[in-house]
Amino acid sequence: MTQTPSMVHLDGSQGEGGGQMLRSSLSLSNILGIPFSMEKIRARRQKTGLRPQHLTAVEASAKLCEGEVEGASVGAAQIRYNPNHLPVGEHKIDIGTAGATSLLLHALYYPMAWSDQGGKLRLVGGTHVDKAPTFDYLNNVWAPMLRTCGMDVTLRLHRYGFYPRGGGMIEAVIPPNQRPKPILFEKRPELERISIIALFGQPPDQKRPSTGLTPVSQRMGRAAQELLNQLEFQASVLCSEPEASCVGAVCHVICHFGPLRAGFTAWGWKGRPAEQVGAEAAAMAAQFLRSDAVVDEWMSDQLLLPLSLADGPSVFLAPQRTGHLTTNAEIIMKFLPHVRISIEPDAKGLQRVEIHPEG
């Protein structure tokens, strides 16, 4: 039987080469009690090394787990981390920037769920920022999909936080003693419904649209709904214009398949018509619905870690083979050498992902 490593050495420039490598490493290190070192952190990114949000994840893990960390600073290309115990209790952590609270949660959730006490996390930063899952994705896709593999979390949004100012806050209540169960997602259940969530955040003192103009959130939501209707998909729309520290526009399309979920997100920016944002989110959802994929692109790599710790083999169909998916698989197998993860195309061009915890 393959032996558990006493230390894991990682090259942060390999594969996708982003912050996910660090988050997965922190999670597995804390759960398994295995120290790790990582060099060439984010070497392929325009801004190399640790950014503030990555540093927060390292420092929060070290604080909550009483771990030892060497070399952690903004811009650092190499760190060494030695865990002590699993995180428990109530904690508030401020990223200090618009860094994604969702990504910080991913670094801390699994070790806390594994503990015998669980806990509560209040995370301050960006709740809706590009290139990261939004709070609405977490609440409507990530959390329900975790429940399909035997894990749970209760999420609450206290304040919205958009890029570049952040200032939002999410809360996660994490039950103790959670152990993931294997899944077999080879056939997608029937589509039950589609929900559209369109948001346009503004500071409270900023001028609102004058009477007679359609609010931005409604224009995004209506465009998404109209495109889906043209493709013979019916969808409900929830539009909101919440207070936030800066302007932000985002449109989500959430597909419900019994207990399974898939989510698609498009972003607005200054000068981009709201209708384009809504149509983009709807088009991504429609592309997924036309396929036989069971798990969406982002959720595919997120399922690897818990399923690698499950008590049996798992299978699911992903829409494509991404750098995040393959890199996360490689990181997991470094910490768990007895686990075998295969990602192979099927006859329809989808990616069949198999996780065998016993190799």
CATH 3.30.1370 at 292-359, yes or no: yes
What's domain 193-290's superfamily in CATH?
A: RNA 3'-terminal phosphate cyclase, insert domain (3.30.360.20)
pLDDT in tens, 244-285: 999 999 999 999 999 999 999 999 999 999 999 999 999 999
Q: Return the percentage of the chain with pLDDT > 70, whole number.
A: 97
Q: Does pTM surpass 0.85?
A: yes
CB 15 within 8 A of CB 30: no
Q: Binning pLDDT at 50, 70 and 90, where does residue 209 land? A: low
Q: Which fold has domain 1-85?
A: Translation Initiation Factor IF3 (3.30.110)
Distance of alpha carbon 132 from alpha carbon 335, whole angstroms: 25
Interstrand relation of 314-318 and 351-356 (parallel, antiparallel or unpaired): antiparallel
Sequence ranges of the domains in the chain: 1-85, 193-290, 292-359
pLDDT at 210 over 90: no
Catalytic choice (54, 106, 252, 324): 324
Does the active-site annotation cover 128?
Answer: no
Nearest residue to 167 (alpha-carbon basis) of 129, 127, 201: 127
Contacts of 300 (CB under 8 A, 6+ apart): 316, 318, 319, 322, 325, 351, 353
pLDDT in tens, 225-249: 999 999 999 999 999 999 999 999 9
pLDDT in tens, 122-179: 999 999 999 999 999 999 999 999 999 999 999 999 999 999 999 999 999 999 999 9
Residue tagged 């209540």 (tokens) = 173
| Domain 1-85 matches domain 292-359 at the CATH topology level | no
